[in-house]
Amino acid sequence: MIVISGDGRQMHMLNETASMVWRCVDGVTSVDRIVERVCEEYEVDEGTASRDVEKAIEMMREKNLVRISDTG
User: What is the pLDDT confidence band of residue 66, given thresholds at 50, 70 and 90?
Assistant: confident
Residue from 63, 62, 60, 50 nearest 22 by CA: 60
Please report the pLDDT score of residue 8 as a whole number. 81
Average pLDDT, the chain: 88
Q: Which residues pair with 4 in a beta bridge?
A: 11
For residues 11-32, average pLDDT = 92
For residues 7-14, average pLDDT = 87
Output the pTM of the full model: 0.81
Q: Where are the beta strands (DSSP E) in 1-72?
A: 2-4, 11-13
Please report the pLDDT score of residue 70 as a whole number. 54
Domain range summary for the chain, segments of one domain joined by +: 2-62
| pLDDT tens digits, 29-47 | 999 999 999 999 999 999 9
